[in-house]
Chains A and B, each alone.
Chain A
Amino acid sequence: MARLTINGTPQDVEVDPDTPLLWVIREQIGLTGTKYGCGVAACGACTVHIDGVATRSCVLPVSAVEPDQQITTIEGLSPDSSHPIQKAWLALDVPQCGYCQAGMIMAAAGLLSQNPNPTDEDINAEITNICRCGTYNRVRAAIKLAANDGDTTQRG
């Protein structure tokens, strides 16, 4: 049994303690927006926020998360896709297949909450998620758009 606070709601889940947080979120909680891509924290598709920090959930045992830590998934980033990153993503029509985009959006939102005006170098260093369709340049532009629009702190 583990107690997790996901998208603001405390939940008790019956789960093996070494199960990665990703699979608890997907299979026990039933939130499937967070994606499996590699299982070795190499691609970033599984990125969620833990206490506001972008974290790859596929190698993080659920037992390593404290009950009062705030886990935010793509479903909880905003109630209505109104987070500045989501708005910028929509404005620039960023996704192609979209599979990596939840992780990409969570990584970008995490970056902006730490660094409201990231440089290209900051983006290169912090957004290391893999996209195989090739959205990188639009991801970069959307991060800059969201940064320029402000209102990126205290969210997610």
Chain B
Amino acid sequence: MNAIISISRRSFIVGVASTAGSLSLGFHLPFIKPSLAQGAVMEPELNAWVVIRPDDTVVIRIARSEMGQGTLTGLAQLVAEELNCDWSKVTTEYPSPAENLARDRVWGNFSTGGSRGIRESHDYVRMGGATAREMLIAAAAAEWGVPASECAATLGTVTHSGSNRTASYGQLAAAAAQVTPPTDVQLKDPKDWTIAGKPLPRLDTADKLNGAQVYGVDLKLPGMVNAAVRACPYFGGKVASFDAAAVASMPGVQKVVQVDETAVAVVADTWWRAKTALDALPVVWDEGPNTGVSSQTIAHILEEGLEADNAFVGAQQGDAPAALTGATKVVSAVYSYPYQNHATMEPMNATALYTPEKCEVWVPTQNGEASLAAAAEAAELPVSQCNVHKIHLGGGFGRRGMQDYVTQAVRIAREFPGTPVKLIWSREEDMLQGRYHPVTQSRLTGALDADGNLTALHMRISGQSILAAVMPQRMQDGMDPIVFQGLTADSPEGHLGYTIPNLLIDHAMRNPPIPPGFWRGVNLNQNAIYVECFVDELAHAAGVDPLAFRRKLMANHPKHLAVLEAVAERIGWDTPAPAGVHRGLAQIMGFGSYVAAAAEVSVTDGQLRIHRIVAATDPGHVVNPAQVERQVEGSFVYGLSACLYGECTVNGGRMEQENFDSYEVVRMADMPEVETIIIPSGGFWGGVGEPTIAVAAPAVLNAIFAATGKRIRSLPLKNHDLA
């Protein structure tokens, strides 16, 4: 994949055009030979999505960020499918956010999160490919003086059926670029796909096998200096003072910078020297107002919310409180979910080059336009004088949708006008300055009638709102709608797969002073645990098999049921498990897709072993089944890491975990077999990067109950004795 090369070339062109040579002409081009940069100007652009070079190379522009999830390959497949090009000639590049703004946002939304990369842009990127195809056909028809209807485009070649004349896309591209784009193009029926829908290898693998892939931390710019930063680890605290003189003479140190009121940075010739000096820098913190906050005090606040009179209603049917009051058999349980850190393998970083006239940032970001806005604000320059160059991400998981590290990098760079500054967070900084998966608790109360039917359910969620902290503009009359992910009655994004005659799901918002963020899977993660483990509890209370119990509630939800039945059948739910092995089930809908999992576990002398996972996904349409399989498998690493180990605990107003030695995650030895069943039922477009995470933990927890009779209602499992 040579997106980096292309980005750099594009930045060169834009830079020259916008600064009249003042800065960019003297600016070294990373990763690029000047000859290629010169030649690039001649490339015919058919439209925003498609550039075809004279050598038949097809450059497909990708607006969303690639962070491992395979979106880059999938989006390229969709464009190539409609373009009818030769897949072996396809390469990709990222347009820059500044170009997007300059061209009236022709590439649409750059934000890459919520499993939206493909499902939210498939229509317009396919239209880009189809329109370009018709322009190529029109150019050939005009050249040959024949009707376009007699010409066809396949595998990167236009052929005239009457005369057998042919021309390659590379030969036609310059003329095609002058054709007026048609407006009546029809997209293919997915059943006719030959490139999309196929398990093609990723386009970006080769450079990841030999060290050639450039991540943000790897960026090298001429004259670049390196920065290490430390922000106040106490939430709400500030820098009180620091003694810059104490480290000024340490090797390589150039400057100690107060970044803002919360953070201080050391800038040195190398990052290691910057970090070494930062570690030695005497800093006094104003610990702020939250030093009395701990995981225990937060838990107490959430417990109060479980009982509160006032709550936002997310789903309501019948009269659950009345039905529960009159019920003969009532089951109730309280669950909780802790803070998690994203822990991307590549720590947060950004490189900034600032002058009073211009600010450029190179950053692995999930939202290039938000990075641009953050850069402009920190630089105090008009957006039109800023640019962001997107770099491949070493993991994102939601953390890189936040832009705090971009702001820091630009603020530090302002102290070094004309000199690029690369800011890299240490792992410790990354752990202490997270935007954490929020904490919630849930009390679920269900009523069973004499026949074991669920007649009423009240699910009270108490806890933290992400939107209130990071996107208050999306709050609805004070309510955070995404707290109810997977639970609402009719959302196409994810609705509850059970019909319950009396249902109330409500949220008592309690926001501790810990910054929350979107963490891969978001609120679906804990909601699926709460619902799916509690449904398992209800089934056992009713004396009914958990699958049979669910089936009775799912008659109106055939797609939810289909994925559940698929995993049950594959795991052999109706047949005995191997000796000592026990099974659990879970299903949920989220990010527009239906997902289910079945787990086989054993617990021997308190030691849990997860032997096997079967997962099923119905995302409507599948663009690359091989990549879907990888996302589903990876979801179990993320989901099981949280289930087994994941917990950020607060003590004295700060997080206690600072590195992987105290924030353990799933490794090879923990990893079960994962069998993936993909059931694309068509007619809708769902996401795949996140939903399956949510069923990982409840399937395993339900299997643990089957194995031990122990109902685990708080994570992580490392805190529980299963013996």
Contact = CB atoms under 8 A, between A and B. Distances in A.
Interface of A: 16, 19-20, 23, 26-28, 30-40, 42-43, 45, 73-75, 77-78, 81, 86, 89-90, 93-102, 105, 123-125, 127-140
Q: Which 8 A-B pairs have the closest CB atoms?
A: A33-B211, A134-B634, A97-B68, A99-B394, A134-B637, A98-B208, A96-B68, A124-B669
B206 A81 contact: yes
Nearest to B630: A96
Query: In this complex, which of A77, A95, A105, A134 has the most chain B Cβ atoms within 10 angstroms of its Cβ?
Result: A134
A130 B668 CA distance: 8
Given A97-B344, A134-B636, A136-B668, 10 more contacts: A32-B220, A75-B211, A93-B202, A96-B68, A105-B209, A124-B668, A124-B669, A130-B345, A132-B395, A140-B668
10 contacts: A27-B270, A35-B394, A37-B347, A38-B659, A93-B626, A97-B393, A97-B394, A132-B345, A135-B634, A137-B673
B209 A89 contact: yes
B665 A130 contact: yes
A32 B211 contact: yes
Nearest to B662: A42
Interface of B: 67-70, 201-202, 204-215, 217-218, 220, 226, 251, 270-273, 343-347, 392-397, 424, 426-428, 626, 630, 633-638, 641, 659-661, 665-669, 671, 673-674
B68 to A, nearest CB: 3
Contacts of B665: 130, 132
A136 B671 contact: yes
Contact of B346 (A31, A34, A35): A35
Contact of B211 (A43, A74, A89, A128): A74
B346 A16 contact: no
Contacts of A81: 206, 209-210
B394 A96 contact: no
Contacts of A134: 630, 633-638
B67 to A, nearest CB: 5
A98 B344 CA distance: 11
A103 B79 CA distance: 34
B274 to A, nearest CB: 10
Contacts of A20: 272
Contacts, number: 170
Contacts of A73: 211
A102 B205 CA distance: 12
Contacts of B674: 137
Contacts of A101: 208-209
Nearest to B424: A36
Given A35-B345, A75-B211, A89-B209, A133 B660 contact: no
A22 B138 CA distance: 56
Nearest to B73: A93
Nearest to B673: A137
Nearest to B658: A40
Contacts of B397: 132
Query: In this complex, which of B218, B392, B397 has the most chain A Cβ atoms within 10 angstroms of its Cβ?
Result: B218
Contacts of B69: 96
A27 B272 contact: yes
Nearest to A101: B208
Contact of A32 (B206, B214, B270, B428): B214
Nearest to B217: A36
Nearest to A89: B209
B211 A31 contact: yes
Contacts of A26: 218
Nearest to B349: A36
A93 B626 CA distance: 9
B209 A95 contact: yes
Nearest to A99: B394
B343 A132 contact: yes
Contacts of B345: 35, 37, 43, 45, 97, 99-100, 130-132
Contacts of B205: 89-90, 93-95, 98
A138 B205 CA distance: 13
Contacts of B667: 128-130, 136
A152 to B, nearest CB: 16
A101 B638 CA distance: 17
A124 B214 CA distance: 29
Nearest to A86: B209
Nearest to B212: A33
A130 B208 CA distance: 16
Contacts of A132: 343-345, 395, 397, 637-638, 641, 665
A103 B205 CA distance: 15
Given A27-B272, A129-B667, A130-B345, A43 B660 contact: yes
Contact of A133 (B218, B271, B395, B659): B395
Nearest to B671: A136
Contacts of A36: 217, 347, 424
Contacts of B659: 38-40, 42
B634 A133 contact: yes
